[in-house]
Amino acid sequence: MHALTAWLEKFLLPIAGKIGNQKHLVALRDAFIGTMPVTMAGSMAVLLNAIIRDLPTQFIDGYDANTIPVFKEIIGINGYVWNGTLAIAGLMFAFSLGYNIARAYGVNDLAGGLVSVGALIQGIAFSAPATVNLEPGQLGEKATELLTNAGSVISQTEVLDTATGNMKLVEQVTNNAWGWLKLDHLNGNAFFTAMILGFVAVIIFAKLMNRNITIKMPEQVPPAVSKAFAAIIPALVALYAVGMFNYFFTRFTDVLFIDWVQKTIADPLLELSQGFGAVMIITVFIQLFWFFGIHGMNVLAPALEGIWGVAQIKNVNLFNEGGVEMVKEHGYLWVRGSFDAFSMFGGSGGTIVLIIAILIFSKRADYKTIGKLSLGPGIFNINEPVMFGLPIVLNPIMFVPFLLAPIVTTAIGYFATINGWVDPVSQQVVWVTPPLLLSFLATGADWRAPVVSLICMIVAFIIYAPFVIAANKMEEQ
């Protein structure tokens, strides 16, 4: 054990230290954290609708919440909340990312957030092209006038009638109206593009600011005005740099950069994240970092939030559109909240069951004291008291169970979800929610989820208990 610990200290700790202190990765982590207030509000709206609109349909035939006066209003209000949160989550993330990158460079953070938003927006679709075939005269004069004024093209053409096999005359309406922002370019689909363009634009902005390539105002000018003028040239250069990239990329590829990123980067990464190997790798490294006293969830937040977190936001949006069946058909089975539901009960390592094992089996006064003090925070998934008080950190006897328990429980939760024994996580629930309640709410009120979580907790308890008992013998020796 000593040799393994020494090897990990020599090779793993330097890597963890560099990741934890790399300012761009820290900015990315803080950007995801910064969006939590709005994403949680949107998730709460979806969750409330799931409870009052979708859950009762599983038990009551003919149930329709939209016919119940109070519920109908609540569902409508939740829809507005979703519109202003998860529906434009990518836009909010872009601002948060630019803000945090600018702060990392010590420059105007507000301007940095705005530059990042501008870099994202300039490359999204501003129209929604679509073609519809109608029977001649079906459209009507007023509708024809309105559509034509909006930029749509209306023409008559012949198409094949599949019913008769003959050609027939139809009125073809092609929508070319400009000025309609595409929602799929502002929601979770925007995250990866925002990361790329936001980083590039704000780093250009920050470096020009730090080199004082700015407009300098007299001292008598108010500070807010001076800061705004100082940001003009760096913002101009940054946005024009991204603008030229977007122009030439679209010109030579005939596709928007955001669509290309989604197809060639985002989708493959999200698909890769669904593999058992990827889930196990991230689980192992979270535990390894924690064992050496480094917050594994924070260090790996760029991957956890940037990949599994994006998948979770997509699941929440899909659930809002069509419930759990829509999530199963078009969403992701393993997302960021899946780790919390099935392996992080009590905090990283599933330490709430370690605390229970200590209170039952430990004969050591120090262990029992820490166990009693850690129980309250552990119920709300706060495990720093037991991590550093017991401690688990750099405690050789706790290394094996602390690493093994999450691997086993994650595997149980993973295969239970993949095999359809429990619904996938489709809600974003605040992480301090007690374990069994968390999994119930996170899966859209699937009663099987807390059962699976309880099984995971029992298995983790069985893994931890022998090592707690062994710690008694160590004290005697």
Same domain, 449 and 371: yes
| Residues 211-259 pLDDT 10s | 988 888 787 778 888 888 888 999 999 999 999 999 999 999 989 999 8
Same domain, 333 and 432: yes
Last-in-domain residue among 224, 240, 263: 263
pLDDT at res. 206: 94
134-138, 341-345, 419-423 — which is least confidently predicted? 134-138
The amino acid at 315 = N
DSSP 3-state percent helix, strand, coil across the chain (nearest 5): 70, 5, 25
Between 246 and 138, residue with greater pLDDT: 246
Taking the C-alpha atoms of residue 41 and residue 78, their distance in angstroms, rounded to an integer, is 9
Starting at the edge strand found earlier in the chain, the sheet holding 130-134 runs 130-134, 167-175, 153-160
| Residues 286-332 pLDDT 10s | 988 888 777 778 778 888 888 898 899 888 888 888 888 888 888 89
- The total number of structural domains in the chain stands at 4
Predicted TM-score (pTM) of the model is 0.78
Give the side-chain half-sphere CA count within 13 A for 83: 6
Taking the C-alpha atoms of residue 330 and residue 326, their distance in angstroms, rounded to an integer, is 6
Give the domain extent around 168: 130-175
60-74, 363-377, 424-438 — which is least confidently predicted? 60-74
Same domain, 221 and 319: no
Same domain, 198 and 328: no
Q: Is residue 9 domain-resident?
A: no
Same domain, 206 and 283: no
Q: In the predicted model, is pLDDT for residue 183 greater than 90?
A: no
Q: In the predicted model, is pLDDT for residue 4 greater than 70?
A: no
Examine residue 69 and say whether the peptide bond preceding it is cis (omega within 30 degrees of 0): no
